[in-house]
Amino acid sequence: MRVWWILLGAGLGYTVGAQLAARAGAAVRSGPARPQVALTFDDGPHPEYTLRIVEVLAHHQVRATFFFVGRHALELPEVAREVVRAGHCVGTHTLSHPHLWTLGPGATWREVAAGVQAVQQATGIRPRYFRPPWGTFNLAALHACRVLGLVPVLWTVRGEGYRWKPSADEMVREVVRRAHPGAVVNLHDRGGFPDTPARVLAALPGILRGLRSRGLQPVSLDELLGASDGSPPACSPVQLQ
Ligand SMILES: [Zn+2]
C-alpha cells in the first residue's frame, strides 16, 4: 500500500510540482515592467497563415516570437526561414506537440532535444526559448531546458482559451484590456480551433493598434527580456548565415 503512495507522490511531483515550479518562477511568464508587450505565436509554421501574420507584423514594423512545432518546421522549412529572415525570434514547442504529462523523462528529453534540432535544421537558428504544449511542464522538461540552454516561457495573457472561442473583435478587446507592461501574449498561427489562425490574423491589426493606443509597444521576447543597453537582439536576420 505504501509503495502506491510513494509512486503517487512522485507522479504528482513530476507533473503538478513541475507546473507549480514553472508558474512560481522556473519559467518566464512576463518581462520587466517596461511599457512593452511580447506577442508570441504557437504551433506553426502554417502553410498559409504564418506568412500572412508576418506580413501584418511587417506592415506595423513589429517583431514577434514564433514557437514552432519541430515537425511543422521540417515540413515547411521555407516558411520557417522566412519568419527568421523577417527578423522574428523563434522558439521550440517540442517536436510533435505531445502533452508532457503523458511522457516519461526519456521521451520528454527526446521531444525537447529533437524540437531544438528541427528548428535549427529548418532555419539555421538555434532556438533560445521553449514553450511546452498547452503550457504544461513536467520536471524532465524543466531539466532539459537547463541542459540545452533554453529559456522556458509561459504567458500572462491569452488570445483564446481551450473552451473559450472569441470572435476576432472579442480577441482584440480581451488582449488589449488584459495587456500590461511586460506582458507575454499567447496567440496561435496554427492549432487551437480549426479557424483560430484566421481569427488571429483578423484580430492582429486591432491588437497592435490597441496596444499602442495604451502606450504599450509590441516586441519580440528578445526585446522584452533582453538588455536595455541598445545591443542588437539575438534573433536578428544577420544570424542566418
Ligand atoms: Zn501548442
C-alpha 186 to ligand 1 mean position (Å): 10
CA 211 – CA 158 distance, rounded (Å): 14
Q: Taking the chain (241 residues) in consecutive chunks of 10 residues, what is each chunk's mean pLDDT?
A: 88 92 94 96 98 98 97 98 96 98 97 98 96 97 96 96 93 98 98 96 98 98 77 50 37
- The Å distance, Cα 129 to ligand 1 centre, comes to 14
CATH homologous superfamily, domain 2-239: Glycoside hydrolase/deacetylase (3.20.20.370)
The alpha carbon of 5 and the centre of ligand 1 are apart by a number of angstroms equal to 32
Catalytically active residues, by annotation:
42, 188
pLDDT value at residue 238 = 42
Q: What is the distance between the alpha carbons of residues 198 and 183, in angstroms, rounded to a whole number?
A: 23
Residue 240's pLDDT is 40
What contacts 29, CB < 8 A, 6 or more positions away?
A: 23, 153, 154, 155, 156, 184
Choose among 114, 143, 139: nearest CA to 127.
114
Residue 164 CA to residue 150 CA, distance in Å, equals: 30
**Can you tell me which residue has the cell 531539466?**
143
Q: Do 118 and 70 form a contact (C-beta atoms < 8 A)? A: yes
Domain spans in the chain, listed from the N-terminal domain onward:
2-239
